[in-house]
Structure 1
Amino acid sequence: MMKSSETEREDSKIILLANGVSDDGDTYLKIPKFYTINLHLLEGMMMKATEIDLQLPAGTCISGIEGWCNGLLCLSSSSKTDLFLSNPTTRKHWQLPSPLPKKKTESIISPSQEICVYGFGYDGTGDDYKVIRVTEDYLNQGIGVLKPISQEVQVYSQKSNSWKHLPQFPYFIGNRRWPNPGKLVNHALHWVMEDSDDDVIAAFDLRTEQYHTVPLPPEIVERKESANPSSKSPSWPWILEVLEGFLCVMKRQDSTTLNLWIMEEYGVKDSWTEFVFQKFPSVVCPNPVPISISNSRRRKGEIFFHDNRYVFSYDAESQMLRKVVFFPSYIASSGYPLISSSLVQPGPSC
């Protein structure tokens, strides 16, 4: 399997946000916790993740990870309006100014729901860190049915320390209850969006601030077109992730088989390579997120996945799935960033 030249493997760690049920009996963690593990230290026995203190300013309430790049995390509050850039290595932080007020629309329809997603990345051409914010208003037309009314896009530039409005995407986030942050690959942020009734991989180029799409794996398109709408068999959605610096698409074939595609040449449809993982039961690992591929001689070909309370390893040769890391708290679905230690400053005055 190819390796991305952009992926740093030395001292790589996974930083996860715990935001759920804890082992001490609390029904909910009012103060989210962050955990770190070093994947290079995993040897045989299951280890416990280490809690870390980001030393955020007093009174700061963080509820989500909205992106990660070059050792920095983009963190948000529950209101999705208070944003911080944080370096877990140096414990330095930078609070972003508030996003611009929403533009007034001429629509006479009052939205019943707002969806907001973010993305964070580095513009190498302009030597600038950027945060993109996409908000959409929806009209609830019934259980699980949302009709998009409007969309607004803003981008933050660290260099100017300001936000500006951008033209809206040609696509909508769609009927997704928990949309994920943009996935950073090839200087662009990527989301699963909807074009009419079809899913697309929509992208925002951080250098040009232009939109484009990335082709889906042909097998995903073919299976969707051939699917029987009257079938009573469970249908699993496809999920967009990043693995070793490459775009990655996952979809369950059935309750014991996981299909994974990696785009080995960015933007090239024929470069999607499929991997089929047998003996990958959904009852054990229902929502796997790929986080790393082992590069050591002893564990070559082993892939690490995260799912709620554990990190799993899957050995493709033996088809063995095992738990290797335990988290004391339920890990929220807001982010699973694999980052490397860095000394990058999160803000100009840090």
Structure 2
Amino acid sequence: MNPRMAGRPFLINLPSEIIINILSRLSIRAIISCKCACKQLLDLLSTPEFATSHLSLSTPGLLINQSGASGNLSQIFEFEDAFELEHHNLHYNPVLKFDPNLSGCVSDASSWIWGSVNGLLCLQDYRSKLYDALYICNPITREYIALPWIDEIVEYPSIGEYGFGVSMTSGQYKVLRNVRRHSYDFEEGPCSSFKKYECLVHTVGTRSWRKIPDAPVGYSSISFSLFLNGNLHGFLQDFLYSTNSSIYCFDLEAESFKPFPPPPPSLDSPALGTLGILDDCLCFVDSSSQDADIIVIWVMKEYGVGKSWTKQFVIEEALGFAGLYCDSVYAMKVFKDGDILLNRNINSLFYFSSKTKTCHKLEVVIQDQNGCIEAITHNSSFLSLKSLDAENVTSF
């Protein structure tokens, strides 16, 4: 729809629910243009009813966060998924650029994105002067809130990881915080053994964190950052002390952990892999093959059912793109033409061409060899943080 037509009486005089239904089907950039057309549309597009309608019809896009010597830059893209596109880079339509450094307390702060849910991002400024500076942000509405920081004395070297999701029952948005504290042994190294392990959860709109008992412990990874079906999922790897690897999920409504069925064969060896989501299904990317240039992608066709794990893709000739123990591969999207978008964590974005059966770097963004690239799927939305009863909503 041409935004210049938006102010004409034949549209404005329609019932609001019909206008909302029509506008909810437009692209993000078109909706933003409509907001500038007239005050009536601006008011209508700012309502919770429109935000809910648009979110129900929207599809995931791509959010890329790049950090380097010059700071951070985040970009949002909408996917153009069509068979007739000649070049893979044409799959991506730019929507928005923004600076994820929300604290403003240091000019060179670097931000990490721990999750995206319904258009909201959980950000951490990990060079901030404030310990654990966490924010919930909507880059489309240009709103954010600062989560309460935890007043504590750090006695040991710490590694903190986070997850962000929403309860399917109560609709409450929650942040999960996992922290490993280690003893310092000059002979064995700074992270030679566990000293303390903590798991906390925060409900957005409150001003407190709560302790979660009986959390699973993994030396190499305890991140529960993958949200699906009301649960946060994590792949626990314990390369140092045992050969066990396992999948757990955290139920955001019950606020409890439970084991999750792994793909076959069972993860009773130190497999190298990552969890992801493809077409609303949980997937597991196994890049631990003895052949360093092979990546296997398993997909759970029926959520929570172990027998539904299916070996969906085998990507060969991936030399130079397959992951290492600290540099793993994440599956992000399968396009209609069969191309698969993948992310080699903190290193590069690349895709596997179904036609040539080869891997290529994604050229839609400049990939700085000295910088880091973080990429996640992201549903842009017009959901206002004020609707969550959150305190101190700030514009940026």
User: Deviations along 1:118-171, whole A, 9 cap, x unmatched?
Assistant: 0000012122100011111113563696322211111111143432222141x2
Which AA in structure 2 matches 1:119?
G
Q: Percent identity?
A: 21
User: Deviations along 1:281-325, whole A, 9 cap, x unmatched?
Assistant: 23145443211122x4xx1x3322133565433244652434443
2:363 is paired with a residue whose SS is strand
Matched length? 310
Aligned to 1:44: 86
The 5 Å alignment of 1:309-328 reads 311-316=349-354, 319-328=357-366
2:80 is paired with a residue whose SS is helix
User: Deviations along 1:188-207, whole A, 9 cap, x unmatched?
Assistant: 11122257721111221001
Whether the aligned pair in 2 keeps the contact of 1:8 and 1:340 (CA below 8 Å) is no
> Highest relative contact order (Cα 8 Å, sep 6+), 1 or 2?
1
Aligned to 1:67: 115
Deviation at 1:84, TM superposition (A): 0.8
Question: Which residue of 285, 299, 307 corresponds with 1:270?
Answer: 307
Aligned to 1:23: none
Deviation at 1:8, TM superposition (A): 7.1
More helix by share: 2
- CA 1:327–1:285 in structure 2 vs 1: closer, same or farther (change >3 Å)? farther
Q: Gapped runs of 5+ residues in structure 1?
A: 1-6, 21-27, 105-109, 225-234
Whether the aligned pair in 1 keeps the contact of 2:178 and 2:223 (CA below 8 Å) is no
Q: Distance in 2 between matches of 1:265 and 1:316?
A: 25
Q: Gapped runs of 5+ residues in structure 2?
A: 1-54
| 2:251 equivalent to 1:208 | no
Aligned to 1:53: 98
RMSD (Å) for aligned C-alpha atoms:
3.2
Whether the aligned pair in 2 keeps the contact of 1:292 and 1:305 (CA below 8 Å) is yes
| 2:115 equivalent to 1:77 | no
Aligned to 2:3: none
Runs of 4+ in 1 over 6 A off after TM superposition: none
The 5 Å alignment of 1:331-346 reads 332=372, 335-346=374-385
Deviation at 1:58, TM superposition (A): 6.7
More strand by share: 1
| 2:164 equivalent to 1:120 | yes
- CA 1:10–1:77 in structure 2 vs 1: closer, same or farther (change >3 Å)? same
- CA 1:278–1:134 in structure 2 vs 1: closer, same or farther (change >3 Å)? closer
Whether the aligned pair in 2 keeps the contact of 1:66 and 1:74 (CA below 8 Å) is yes
1:32 is paired with a residue whose SS is strand
Which AA in structure 2 matches 1:84?
Y
2:265 is paired with a residue whose SS is helix
| 2:225 equivalent to 1:190 | no
User: Deviations along 1:24-68, whole A, 9 cap, x unmatched?
Assistant: xxxx24x21112233216833354985711576571534211111
User: Deviations along 1:43-101, whole A, 9 cap, x unmatched?
Assistant: 33354985711576571534211111111110001156111111122121111111353
Rg (Cα) greater in structure: 2
1:270 is paired with a residue whose SS is helix
Whether the aligned pair in 2 keeps the contact of 1:82 and 1:96 (CA below 8 Å) is yes
Aligned to 2:316: 279
- CA 1:339–1:278 in structure 2 vs 1: closer, same or farther (change >3 Å)? closer
Q: Distance in 1 between matches of 2:245 and 2:274?
A: 11
Q: Distance in 2 between matches of 1:45 and 1:201?
A: 37
- CA 1:41–1:265 in structure 2 vs 1: closer, same or farther (change >3 Å)? closer
Whether the aligned pair in 2 keeps the contact of 1:246 and 1:263 (CA below 8 Å) is yes
- CA 1:269–1:35 in structure 2 vs 1: closer, same or farther (change >3 Å)? same
Q: Distance in 1 between matches of 2:212 and 2:347?
A: 39
- CA 1:8–1:272 in structure 2 vs 1: closer, same or farther (change >3 Å)? farther
Question: Which residue of 182, 187, 190 corresponds with 1:138?
Answer: 182
Deviation at 1:19, TM superposition (A): 1.7
Whether the aligned pair in 1 keeps the contact of 2:275 and 2:330 (CA below 8 Å) is no
| 2:34 equivalent to 1:34 | no
Deviation at 1:279, TM superposition (A): 2.8
